[in-house]
Amino acid sequence: MLRPTASKLRSLRSLTQSVVTKGTTVSGAIAPAQQRSIRFLNNTPRVVPQKIQKVQIKRYYASESAVKVPEMGDSITEGTVLKWLYQVGDSFKEDDVVCQIETDKVTADVRAPAAGTLTSQLAKEGSTVAVGSELFKFTAGAGGAAPAKKPEAKATEAPKQEAKQESKPEPKKEEAPKPQQQQQPKETPKPSAPTSSPAPSTGGQRGERRVPLSRMRLRIADRLKDAQNTYAMLTTFNELDMSQIMALREKHKDAFQEKHGVKLGFMSAFVVAAAQALKEFPVVNAVIDGTDIVYRDYVDISVAVSTPTGLVVPVIRDSDKLSFADVEKTIGQLGEKARKNQLTLPEMQGGTFTISNGGVFGSLFGTPILNPPQSAILGMHATFKRPVAIGDQVQIRPMMYIALTYDHRIIDGREAVLFLKRIKALVEDPAQLLLA
């Protein structure tokens, strides 16, 4: 059956209204074909204009979602916007890092909860933001946003090429007046050179730059100064012969790396030796809390790692239960995360003892400073060959100076010296580490 046209539908509606009286239809006055058309008309739904549907769709996709500053630790209430990795109009995928926030302890990544397009940045780089405040807004949906980047990239390439073409003839024009500029100073300096001093010209090269301290650097400065003001720090020194541990490493480094997938370094030997010495001298692993001494039955050794933003000390948990391979793997993982600013706050809290290896920078001798609230820190230094007395003979041996800075309020000199001598004995004779 052919469907009636729009004009015919309007005429049928008017006809229907004229034949309907008080709820009853006069069917006899209408032809059968018209009755079928009326039934079709009554069952036909009204069509919503297409323009209204388009407006509704635009309003749906234009809705924005706000992302707030996440919680970054129990004691952290605010941070500084370090860097925006996406600008307004850029598209990103789900879980992409949109912004980085620096705190006094860690740099936190703010990730996108869903794919979309960044519509507004609610804080500038360098500004302070509170935990829970809105950081940026975006529109969800990567289908229409992702391809928008491609034409922009192509569009930017064209002006770059034009700029290059335009910039080519300009240096040629600048090259022509160069000889004139060289001839002019030859004529002018004759009367003026002896009378004028070169101090003003060199003064422009002696400028200064003022850069604000980062939150992490401010926190490091406060903690180190508090350590000097609070602790009665004292340092004792010793030296150890690295011959046997170096020979052990040289002999087994290939097999060790093939089996465990990490290189055998000297740091693992010092961590294992320090963990054993801490169990034998528990006061070095203890800490003062008010009027009490808190003895820890566990050993969590912090390892100082230098990063571009400052010194961080990730913690090796249960160091007394780890093997050489476990220590090397843990140090490698923590060191890589530290260099990428991906360390979390729990990974840097709770250490009971710290090892700082200044030898990687070539340090011969130094006194480390305590890492509050710990009571002692071991300082390693570079290994150099020098003559030493072995029995009644003078031999050339690879030697390293080691230092132990401790809190003299809780650790006496006797315990500090014996503790350092124990580390010396374990490293100089690695077989004792297996027996221990």
Is residue 252 annotated as a catalytic residue, yes or no? no
pLDDT for 154 equals 47
DSSP state of 69: P
Residue with tokens 């041996």: 397
Give me the catalytic one of 90, 260, 320, 408.
Answer: 408
Q: Rounded mean pLDDT of 326-335?
A: 93
pLDDT for 34 equals 56
Is this prediction's pTM over 0.85? no
Residue 150 has pLDDT above 60, yes or no: no
Is residue 412 annotated as a catalytic residue, yes or no? yes
Confidence of residue 339 (pLDDT cuts 50, 70, 90): confident
360 or 46, which is more confident: 360
Tell me the longest C-alpha to C-alpha distance in the chain. 137
Confidence of residue 426 (pLDDT cuts 50, 70, 90): very high
Q: Which amino acid belongs to residue 296? A: R
Confidence of residue 305 (pLDDT cuts 50, 70, 90): confident
- DSSP β-bridge partners for residue 402: 238, 380
Highest-pLDDT range among 99-108, 164-173, 402-411? 402-411
CATH code 3.30.70.3270 for 61-146? no
Residue 189 has pLDDT above 90, yes or no: no
Comparing 39-43, 135-139, 295-299, 387-391, the range with the smallest average pLDDT is 39-43
Residue 249 has pLDDT above 70, yes or no: yes
pLDDT for 107 equals 82
Residue 105 has pLDDT above 80, yes or no: no
* Per-residue pLDDT tens over the stretch 191-231: 444 444 555 555 558 888 998 888 888 888 888 899 999 99
pLDDT for 25 equals 46
* In contact, 271 and 431? CB cutoff 8 Å: no
* In contact, 138 and 96? CB cutoff 8 Å: no
pLDDT for 33 equals 54
Residue 379 has pLDDT above 80, yes or no: yes
Domain boundaries, the chain: 61-146, 215-435
CATH code 3.40.50.300 for 215-435? no
**3-state SS record for 321-365:** HCCHHHHHHHHHHHHHHHHCCCCCHHHHCCCCEEEEEHHHHCCCC
Confidence of residue 57 (pLDDT cuts 50, 70, 90): very low
Q: Which amino acid belongs to residue 102? A: E
Give me the catalytic one of 95, 318, 412, 429.
Answer: 412
The rounded distance, in Å, linking the Cα atoms of 59 and 65 is 14
Confidence of residue 349 (pLDDT cuts 50, 70, 90): confident
Confidence of residue 6 (pLDDT cuts 50, 70, 90): low
Residue 240 has pLDDT above 50, yes or no: yes
Confidence of residue 26 (pLDDT cuts 50, 70, 90): very low
Residues 6+ apart with CB under 8 A from 286: 293, 294, 295, 296, 375, 410
